[in-house]
A and B are shown apart, each in its own frame.
Chain A
Amino acid sequence: MGVTFKVYNDFLIVNLKGELDHHMARMVSEKLDEYLMRQSFKKILFNFKQVNFMDSSGVGMLIGRYKALQKIGGKVGAINVGKQVARIFEISGLFNIIPCFNDEIEASEKM
């Protein structure tokens, strides 16, 4: 379980690794807050490549980020979303507010 950050153009890519439940979501939120304190970004991209499980705690975390960025005119996106995670995106309506792309290249073109 872990999170690493990568800057790509004007994007902050948040590479998630593990099962995005309440336990992990809390850790990710803390680390992300720490990172954003040092440098702010208007575009955040969550990379789900190494996430094969997410529950409503992940949904809450993503909506929280979406709202925070909306306030400053920013955007949140997701890449490499797998099957189980996609079902959660669908049921919770996340697909309507958080655009999903194949990779950061497509995201940087369209977001």
Chain B
Amino acid sequence: MEVLNEMTIDFWSKSQNEAFARVVVAAFASQLNPTLDELADIKTAVSEAVTNCIIHGYENETGIIRIKSILRENEIEIWVQDWGKGIEDIEKARQPLWTSKPELDRSGMGFTIMENFMDRVEVESSPGKGTIVKMYKTIKNKK
């Protein structure tokens, strides 16, 4: 599928940037003319991935988070990347209700929500190096 547009942004792992990241990706996705529901889905998934970089990847230290997004005819692809702690066991991490930080009021639902709100979610990670979450969603609203 032909690439229509692409963008990359880097920002600090500050919790204020969770809202910033949602808005930026939603504004970029708007070029595909999504429905409000599709936009809400994208915002939610981005929020989960970015929050994970801040809380788990960098454990509230300052680091860089990168979001890359690619627009195709009727699909958006979103990468959310950190160079933090990494994930030891990806399969376990993706299971509903599993969290490594129960003491922090985490519910272990982040990946489950990403999978529910996007069509496809891929996770690449290595301990000590960092994590990339790649998410894909078909945008159906083509007039």
Contacts and interface: CB of A to CB of B under 8 A. Distances in A.
Contacts of A29: 105
A23 B19 contact: yes
Interface on chain A toward B: helix, strand, loop, or mixed SS? helix
Most buried by A among B51, B105, B109, B110: B105
**Interface size class of chain B, counting residues whose CB lies under 8 Å from the partner chain:** 20 to 34
Q: Is the interface of B mostly helix, strand, loop or mixed?
A: helix
Contacts of B19: 19, 21, 23
A28 to B, nearest CB: 11
A22 B15 contact: yes
A91 to B, nearest CB: 5
Task: Pick the 8 closest A-B CB pairs, nearest first.
Answer: A23-B15, A60-B105, A64-B105, A56-B109, A60-B107, A55-B47, A22-B51, A59-B107
22 contacts: A21-B22, A21-B47, A21-B51, A22-B18, A26-B15, A55-B44, A55-B47, A55-B48, A55-B51, A55-B110, A56-B109, A57-B51, A57-B106, A60-B105, A61-B105, A63-B105, A64-B105, A84-B44, A91-B113, A92-B107, A92-B109, A92-B113
